[in-house]
Amino acid sequence: MANQRPQKHLIVLSASYPFGNGEIFLENELPFLVERFGHIFLLPTFSYGSPRNLPDGVTLLPPEPPSQWRLLEFIRGFLSSGGMFLPEWKRASGHPFSPYQFYLTSRTLGIARRMEQRILKTIAYYNLKDGIIYSYWMQQACMGGIMAARKHSWTVATRVHGGDLYTERYAGNFLPWHEWKVRNADYIFPVSQNGRDYLAQRYPGCAGKIRLMKLGVSGPARIPPDPSPKTKTDAGPESLHLASCSSVIPLKRVDHILETVHKLKELLPALEIRWTHIGNGPQFSSLQNRARSITREGLRIDLKGHLPNNEVRQFYQTGGIDLFVNYSTSEGLPVSIMEAFSCGIPAAAPDVGGIPEIVDKSNGLLFDPDTPPEILAKQISDLYRSGALSDMRTSARIKWEQEFRLESNYQKFADFLYFEL
């Protein structure tokens, strides 16, 4: 018993999980953390509606005091900055003329201060002596975790994905406190090699604490049957079924996928072309209206909106999908493609972020992000005519098995947190 490892506590910071529908990837990771640490605390930054069920061994910490008022967060940040606000505001590309960047900088700090206080209260209430603060995103909660950890000599680790990583996604290339978080976190875990290289090149003095930790997904025991070639029940023409899964926001360019399938029908008039999109967002109504305006025999468009993750995965296994399509302008390493690959579905995706780490010519089509829909349609048409899609199914499945299995990746991550930090 003398060599028994002292108990190490873990506080996990999320954006909103277990509230809302998001962060399914954290939901899948949580059981591995509980198994390794025995018990963990979960603190979401925001709460909306009712929480989902949590595994045994997880204590949910309500994000008190409740603060859904953005103005209150803004004021808190400005008034409790402790001298932090002004230097960061002066770094903003819009300083001193951008009210939005002024507001964003202050509100980010306000949310971080709220999370800091909630963490400190948790440590005091449960009399926690030694532990790790793990933030699933390198956002406001991560910043609050760093500030709280400083007062108790705890370790702070954070994952970093896409929206919390690439500052180029934001106006003026400015994401408040980005450098501060990188320099002050103890460990940073990008989910892609591209993300690791991005941070290491930008902050070379921090390269030693930046370590690649991939996400992962579960998959069926065996690859679903090959849907190609398939025919309609009336012995009509063969069909080609494309699928996509993302939020309907400008970054994802789902409207480009709509244009692509429209052009694809022109190139393959004898085929029934099907496109199924899963996911909603601010531009969903506009997408629906545009889809309704495109009426052509043999072109079927199904905009399903949001589906629970288990239904998405069931659809991948039974929907007879030939090709998964992503058209984003920026990505980390998309879990949606991992899920497609686990079911042996090849992918067409742009050469951005970490996508080249999963999609290559053996398992899909990697295209220039500036490729217009009519050119992508031609590339997909050529791929279909070549008969290569069937061979790509096996390669996609092998890629998932070798690099993106949920069990191996999340076990590796939980072990690293517990034994190395």
Q: How confident is the model at residue 56 (pLDDT cuts 50, 70, 90)?
A: very high
For residues 174 and 172, what is the distance between their CA atoms, to the nearest angstrom? Answer: 5
195 and 282 belong to one structural domain: no
Tokens of 250: 């400008």
Q: What digits encode the pLDDT tens for the residues 102-161?
A: 999 999 999 999 999 999 999 999 999 999 999 999 999 999 999 999 999 999 999 999
Q: What digits encode the pLDDT tens for the residues 339-354?
A: 999 999 999 999 999 9
CATH number at residue 255: 3.40.50.2000
197 within some domain: yes
Using alpha carbons, select from 123, 159, 111 the residue that is nearest to residue 11.
Answer: 123
Q: What is the pTM of this model?
A: 0.92
211 and 342 belong to one structural domain: no
Count of domains observed in the chain: 2
198 and 272 belong to one structural domain: no
253 and 211 belong to one structural domain: no
Count of Cβ atoms closer than 10 Å to residue 163 Cβ: 16
Distances (CA, A) of 374 to 250, 270, 346, 381, 398: 19, 18, 20, 10, 31
Secondary structure of residue 97 in the 3-state scheme? coil
Answer whether the bond into residue 99 is a cis peptide, omega within 30°: no
Radius of gyration of the chain from Cα atoms? Answer: 23
137 and 45 belong to one structural domain: yes
Q: Which domain holds residue 56?
A: 9-216+406-420
212 and 255 belong to one structural domain: no
The structure tokens 């029908």 sit at 265
Amino acid at 378: K
The pLDDT of residue 232:
38
230 within some domain: no
For residues 238 and 230, what is the distance between their CA atoms, to the nearest angstrom? Answer: 6
